[in-house]
A and B are shown apart, each in its own frame.
Chain A
Amino acid sequence: MLTEFTPVLKVKKRFKLPEETSVVIALLILIAIIGALRPTFLKPVNLLNLSASYAIAALLAGCIVFLLAMGEIDLSFGWILNLSAVLAGLAMIAGVPIWISVFIGIAAGTAMGALNGVLTVVMRLPLIIVTLGTASIFQGTSLISNKSGSVVPTDKEITGHIFFRALGGQIDSPVPIILIFVVLAFFVLHLTLHKTRFGYRILAIGSNPEAARLAGIPTKKIKIQVCALMGGVSGVGGVLFLGFRGAVDPSTGGQMLLPVVAAAIIGGTPLSGGAGTVWGSLFGALIVGVIGVGVVFIGINAVWGTLVTGLVIIFAIGVDQIVRVRKKRFK
């Protein structure tokens, strides 16, 4: 029992650099190197356009952190994005009001994600195995829906709608609107993972699923919810893509898996679960983007580009790791 004479244990509050410091340093070094070699790269308009181009991938990376933190991985989100965009686009073409079509796209994405979650729980299989199958189902459904062609809303009433004008860059804004939206989404995702009970439960499941279950956490329910969240965010990505590019192709989203997962991992989220950084995935996505742009700016031959990309990723991860190790030593 504490009395007024009991000595109080003094714990000194230490300044702690954010988790994402190392990945930010790696990003700045990359930007500085490319900027020094090709100064036009640093023009604000280039940097903003680059960021806008990678915004949707970054958004998905921010959300896949939830799954990775839970020790799971989803292979189908690219095709969820595709099918959500196709359904929203077809609804628009069919005359459904734009905002309702947008809602249809996001709701469809959420439903597909929830389906992944339900199958994982019911079949007692890892999400990666379930989504091996559902990825093809979503892709196939998309191909049937779009008759293996692009979905392009061309009616001027549709393309002139604020949704398309805002996302397509037809409204003057110093910062691309898609970028503003994605940054706001990152705030929400960060707060959800690190400041809510839902987020703590995800991390607990990722740390030790059995312990989490014994502690009374409804692990099955949380898994379904996180899968639905991933689907919902992929749906958001799909409708953003539709607004941003003005069309969706049969191949859209098919190549997103690697860059998105790479962004989350480069950003500092381990594959082992139990931890994750949403902001880190944003910077990881920017690193992936900067490398892609840098290869072009520096003028590296396309045949060498893939090799160079791999080497630079290793370099970025190396810088990140060095900073992390030094941080640990200072502790």
Chain B
Amino acid sequence: MSEKNVSNEARKSLCPEGVEAGSTKKGRQMKEKRKNRLRVLALATAMAITAGGLVSCSNSDEAASEEELTIGFVVHVIGNPFIQQIIDAAEMAAADLGVTIKVTGPAGAEGDAQLVAVQNIAASGVDGIATSVPSASMVNGLNEIIESGIPIVQFNGLGVGVNAPYVGEKSVASGRILGQMVLDKIGGTSAKGKVIVGNCYPGFPVLENRQKGVLESLSQAAGIKVVGPSDVKVDAAANFAAWQGLLAANSDALAMVGLCAPDVESIGKVNIAAKNTKTIGGGYDLTVGNLEALANGSAHISLGQTPFIQGYLPVYMLVDSIRKKIAINKAGFVDAGTEIVTATSVTEPFDLPALTFADLQAMATSKEKTRSYYEPVVQGYIKNWQENLKPISDESS
């Protein structure tokens, strides 16, 4: 039995009724100590209450600074190179537009933790919120925030049912592109053999859509046997280990196709480690590691989803709609475009200037070069976002 419980029981049995602490000198001292302790508690409580008293003053201050907008920007995971590219772009938009931006998000991707982060940032008094929506359980909570008058723009991850526009890729269509490119590299519709497909986050709607598109394209070749889709995990080390295991178990695979940012880099490393393999590697995102894998020939295709537009456009839409009093409380879709990259070619969307692979690598490490490259998009596609706002059904078309 615990010390606490044993001593309580003992005290109950030993302490006769009617004997009160405080009836002696020592008791009076104890009473004094007790009072002191209560004073400490009272002081802490008073600090809290006093600070609370400032609430009304603060509200008036907030009213006085109506012009200074603050935008909350909530991502589904902190510490991911691709997500960081989106955050960088959002911060560039805030700097261009002269607004304050507060960036937050959970350390591990989990919908409820992200919703709590969105609710916290809403309660902190921001004027608008851009958030990715990786989970259906976020939908009701986000709609409550929208109903309370705070506009929201979704990016990167779409929440079906959220009354807010979404900025992102056409996920099924981009999956089809990736699947088609992989298929072309392994022999087209006459190809025969295994293709390993990995999903780092089963259940994540955008990834499920990509997967659907990839499988759709691969199904054109009757001789292709798809291995998976296997859970290849988000964490870089676990992701590498998963791909390594998959290739070891299927050493005759024609291709490995990943759906998430860490995959191309991992597939490249696995191919290098396997030495004699001729497995084609394909996946998503243009992080420094992924571009390096394409450059050294250990991976072959990576599709970008324009993190610049996914970060910049939501902040622009929020600030523009708040300043111009445009209601954005209904679902809609603004295509962020798809970049198609191999070691020998770079295809950018929105009639952007042609890029070499070396240019792309330089941009991946330089915010200034990225901002400068996307200037025509900022002045055109992004500025005219209202014209480019399509029905949400376009996202999965």
Contacts and interface: CB of A to CB of B under 8 A. Distances in A.
Interface of A: 8-15, 17, 19, 21, 24-25, 28-29, 31-32, 35-36, 38-43, 45-46, 49-50, 53-54, 69, 143, 146, 148-150, 152, 168-169, 194, 200, 203-204, 206-207, 241, 245-252, 254-255, 274-276, 292-293, 295-297, 299, 301-303, 305-306, 330
Interface stretch (B116-124, B180-188, B339-347, B361-369): B116-124
Contacts of A246: 137, 139-140
B115 interface: yes
Counting chain A CB atoms within 10 Å of each CB, the highest count among B40, B203, B204 belongs to B203
Given A28-B48, A302-B75, A38 B116 contact: no
B21 A302 contact: no
A250 B134 CA distance: 10
B107 interface: yes
A293 B30 CA distance: 39
Given A49-B123, A203-B1, A203-B5, A168 B202 contact: no
Residue from the set A9, A24, A25, A54 with the largest chain B CB neighbour count within 10 Å:
A25
Nearest to B144: A169
Contacts of A292: 116-117, 120
Interface residues of B, number: 75
Contacts, number: 202
Listed residue (A28, A41, A302) with the most chain B CB atoms within 10 angstroms of its CB: A302
B5 A14 contact: no
Counting from the closest, the 9 A-B pairs by CB-CB distance are: A250-B203, A35-B51, A150-B136, A32-B47, A42-B52, A28-B44, A255-B110, A39-B54, A249-B135
Interface in B21-35: 21, 24, 26-27, 30-31, 33-34
B226 to A, nearest CB: 16
A252 B112 contact: yes
A194 B123 contact: no
Interface stretch (B55-63, B262-270, B315-323): B55-63
Given A29-B47, A32-B50, A249-B111, 20 more contacts: A12-B15, A12-B24, A12-B27, A25-B40, A32-B47, A45-B123, A49-B123, A50-B120, A50-B123, A53-B119, A146-B203, A245-B112, A249-B203, A251-B111, A274-B3, A275-B2, A293-B120, A296-B102, A297-B123, A305-B104
Given A32-B51, A35-B52, A49-B119, A148 B20 contact: no
30 contacts: A11-B14, A13-B20, A14-B30, A19-B4, A28-B41, A28-B44, A28-B47, A32-B47, A36-B50, A36-B51, A38-B124, A39-B57, A39-B58, A148-B202, A150-B135, A150-B205, A245-B137, A246-B140, A247-B140, A251-B110, A251-B201, A252-B110, A252-B135, A255-B110, A275-B4, A276-B2, A295-B104, A299-B124, A306-B79, A306-B107
